[in-house]
Chains A and B, each alone.
Chain A
Amino acid sequence: MRRPGLLYVPFWATYVFLYTPIVVLVVMSFNAGDSPYTFEGASLKWYGELAGDATVRQGLVNTLIVAAGSTVLSTVLGTLLAVGMARYSRSRLLDAFGLLPAVLPDLVLAIALLVFYAAVQMTLGLHSVIMAHVVFGMAFVAAVVRTRLSHADTSLEEASRDLGATPLATFTRITLPTLAPGIVAGALLAFTLSIDEFVIAFFTAAPTEPTLPIVIYSMVRFGVTPEINALATILLAVSFTVVIVAQRMTRLTESFR
């Protein structure tokens, strides 16, 4: 059968539109020259510059701390929130409010958090960014786990109790493992969202403890250098790795079922 080739045009057009800038960025990061726009031969010069840049390194460390901390908290709280909503709440309104931080505009959340921190007189630092990221991370985790829960078979938990397992044992041995793919997916989502989150971090971080996106932002204000390209390329590699790992892991836990 001949395939109608025309159908593929929008498909390829989308890909070209999506990936051309990324390819350009990666190529330019290996530029030997000083201009971010014209290629003057290949070198790892900018990666070297990057490695020597203490501000960037500090930003990266801060971002990783924030992402790791907020992911752990979001995953635990989000999972509990999802289970709680599914089991103990009949109110759709309450459900909607639980998931609201995921869709609230970043700017609204950022300002609200800043006002709140000021009201309780909390000092800003990495902890304030972590808490801020937990607010939306938790909502994303809850949304993903919730979906998984709604497809879960409640008779499994009944079977567990029937066989003499206490509610706690049932939760840890039956509920959590059947939710595992959802929890892993939610955690990775929270992690990737936290890594490149800018607006909320910008408002809630202390000026002395900027995260990587804030560092990049201040670098860009003085013009784009190939160093930024190199940094972006590294971030890209990290994101790809996370996505691939995520797929592997969900397939792995999926085979549990």
Chain B
Amino acid sequence: MTAVPEAPAATQTLVGIQGVSRRFGDVTALDDVTLDIRQGEFFALLGPSGCGKTTLLRILAGFETPDSGTVTLDGADLLARPAHRRPVNLMFQSYALFPHMTVARNVAYGLEREGLPRAEVRSRVAEVLGTVGLTTQAGRRPDQLSGGQRQRVALARAIVKRPRLLLLDEPLSALDKKVRAEMQLELKRLQHEVGITFVVVTHDQEEAMSLADRIAVLDSGRVQQVDAPVRLYERPSTPFVAGFIGANNLFEGTAAGGGLSVPGLGTLPAAGGLAAGTPALLGVRPESVRLGDTGDLRGVVADVSFYGGLSHIAVRVAGHDRPVLVAEQGPSRVHAGARVGLGWSAADAVLIAR
């Protein structure tokens, strides 16, 4: 289900997760998860709420033990080490700031535990507070901060330790768009400069796409696909990923020569090596669909919405229960009610076995 050919790996594996499962009562939070996280990479975990992302991070940080499976760091067993001896830091989804300490003391806490000289602690705290833009808030307590500021304190507290592996659980979710973009750049910069390996959980697909070197998509505790963002977008390998990542037009049918045969719609063009007769799903992105007078499908424009740079056009096609989405550059040339033809080139559509 997972393995899709990847770019040849020049980098070595930092974290090896092998067959990890974790159950809570009758909830399976993680189901036989196998992942390799490479040295120095920016790895994103993407998936719907409750799919086990936090549980996986907590296992890496040392606050959960898997029911089965192994985790190695640099080839050595990680699970055998207690949380406070792991070169791993977790930024908690709930922030978990120490309420009785100021922002500066919160950030200094981890460095002080290492027994670093005071002067170094002070300069590193000042530096990281500058990075997250909280220098003027250094003397405040967490309850005197806004939600976004708290989140940045939690981020600062985790990155100041410069661990081998940095786990961030929804690190930017509470920030407004502008600060968020700044922080994204900052994370990228940190990763390049300090060479920390990042594992970031995010709900925001665009964030994952723009930041990550590779993305793992999880669903109900299972790894669906691990790939570079572009491949994940262009070549989803499971029906879940095809439906979860980005907007997609999906058709169900059976593979046929040169495409997918859909009852009532005929054969739709797609490239793919599925044996004829295999039950399959065809996915084609809205921006790959062409609007014209003729095409493989015919329908009626149901709705046109203009988003500045591009327009989304929903076309109702008889025999298909959901409208087909088309994205076009600039304002649309068609209007609701118009009869149109839809088409795409076989190379732009993927076939996925069901």
A residues with a Cβ closer than 8 A to B are: 153, 155-156, 158-167, 169-170, 173-174, 177-178, 180, 256-257
Given contacts A159-B97, A160-B98, A257-B100, 15 further A-B contacts (CB under 8 A): A159-B96, A161-B62, A161-B83, A161-B84, A162-B89, A163-B109, A163-B161, A164-B110, A170-B84, A174-B98, A177-B100, A178-B100, A180-B100, A256-B141, A257-B99
Task: Give the distance in Å from the alpha carbon of A163 to the alpha carbon of B99 in the complex.
Answer: 16
Interchain CB contact under 8 A, A159 and B92? yes
Q: Which of A158, A167, A256 contacts B100 (CB 8 A)?
A: A256
Contact A155 B92 (CB under 8 A): yes
**Given A158-B63, A158-B83, A257-B143; A163-B110 close (CB under 8 Å):** yes
Query: Once the chains bind, are A158 and B143 in contact (CB under 8 Å)?
Result: no
The answer to whether A159 and B98 have CB atoms under 8 Å apart is: yes
Contact yes or no, B96 A153, CB < 8 A? yes
Contacts of B97 in A (CB 8 A): 159
**Does B94 make an interface contact (CB < 8 A)?**
yes
Any chain A CB within 8 A of the CB of B128? no
Interface size class of B (residues with CB under 8 A): 20 to 34
Can you give 24 A-B contacts (C-beta < 8 A)?
Answer: A155-B92, A155-B94, A155-B96, A158-B83, A158-B92, A159-B96, A159-B97, A160-B109, A162-B61, A162-B63, A163-B84, A163-B109, A164-B85, A164-B110, A164-B113, A164-B114, A166-B84, A166-B113, A167-B84, A173-B109, A178-B99, A178-B100, A256-B99, A257-B100
What separation, in Å, do the CA atoms of A163 and B97 have in the docked complex?
12
Chain A residue nearest in CB terms to B113: A164
Residues in chain A near residue B84, CB distance under 8 A: 161-167, 170
Residues in A with CB closer than 8 Å to B161 are 163-164
In the complex the two chains form, what is the Cα distance from A161 to B141 in whole Å? Answer: 21
Closest to A167 in B: B84
> Helix, strand, loop or mixed for chain A's interface?
helix
Cα distance, A163 to B167, chains bound together (Å): 12
Does B327 lie at the interface of the complex (its beta carbon under 8 Å from any beta carbon of A)? no
Residue from B63, B84, B88 whose CB has the most chain A CB atoms within 10 Å: B84
> Which 5 pairs between the two chains have the least Cβ-Cβ distance?
A163-B110, A159-B96, A155-B96, A256-B100, A164-B113
Is the beta-carbon distance between A169 and B90 smaller than 8 angstroms? Answer: no
A144 to B236, alpha carbons, bound, how many Å?
56
Q: Is B157 interfacial (CB 8 A cutoff)? A: yes
Bound CA span A126–B307, Å: 83
A60 to chain B, nearest CB (A): 37
Chain A residues with CB under 8 Å of B100's CB are 177-178, 180, 256-257
By beta carbon, the residue of chain B nearest A157 is: B96
* Chain B residues, Cβ within 8 Å of A180: 100
CB distance from B166 to the nearest CB of A (A): 11
B99 A162 Cβ-Cβ under 8 A: no
| Bound CA span A135–B113, Å | 37
Question: In the assembly, what is the distance between CA of A155 and CA of B82, in Å?
Answer: 16
Residues of B within 8 A of A173 (CB): 109
CA distance A76 to B82 in the complex (A): 28
Whole-angstrom CA separation of A173 from B100 in the bound complex: 10
Contact A156-B113, Cβ < 8 Å, known A162-B89, A163-B89, A164-B161: no
Interface 1/0 per residue, B282-309 and A, CB below 8 Å: 0000000000000000000000000000
Choose one: A158, A166, A177; the contact of B96 (CB below 8 Å): A158
Q: In the complex, what residues of A have CB within 8 A of residue B109's CB?
A: 160, 163, 165, 173
Q: What distance in Å separates the Cβ of A160 from its nearest Cβ neighbour in chain B?
A: 7
Taking the nearest CB of chain A, how far is it from the CB of B57, in angstroms? 11
Q: Are A163 and B113 in contact (CB under 8 A)?
A: yes
Distance, CA A161 to CA B161, complexed state (A): 13
Contacts of A162 in B (CB 8 A): 61-63, 83-84, 88-90
Q: Which residue of B lies closest to A165 (CB)?
A: B113
**In the complex, what's the smallest C-beta–C-beta distance from A223 to chain B, in angstroms?**
54
CA distance A177 to B114 in the complex (A): 21
CB-CB under 8 A from A156, the residues of chain B are 96, 98-99
B61: A residues at CB distance < 8 A? 158, 162
User: In the bound complex, how far is the Cα of B18 from the Cα of A232, in angstroms?
Assistant: 73
Q: How far, in Å, is B104 (CB) from chain A's closest CB?
A: 14
Cβ contacts B109-149/A at 8 Å (1 or 0 each) = 11001100000000000000000000000000101000000
Q: Which residues from B are CB-within-8-Å of A160?
A: 98, 109
A250 to B49, CA, bound (A): 39
CA of A213 to CA of B203 in the docked complex: distance in angstroms?
66
Chain A residues in 8 Å Cβ range of B143: 257
Cα–Cα, bound, A173→B112 (Å): 12
Beta-carbon nearest neighbor of B110 in chain A: A163
The answer for the CA separation of A166 and B112 in the assembled complex, in Å, is: 12
Q: Mark B160-188, 1 if CB is under 8 A from A, else 0.
A: 01000000000000000000000000000
Which chain A residue has the least Cβ–Cβ distance from B109?
A163
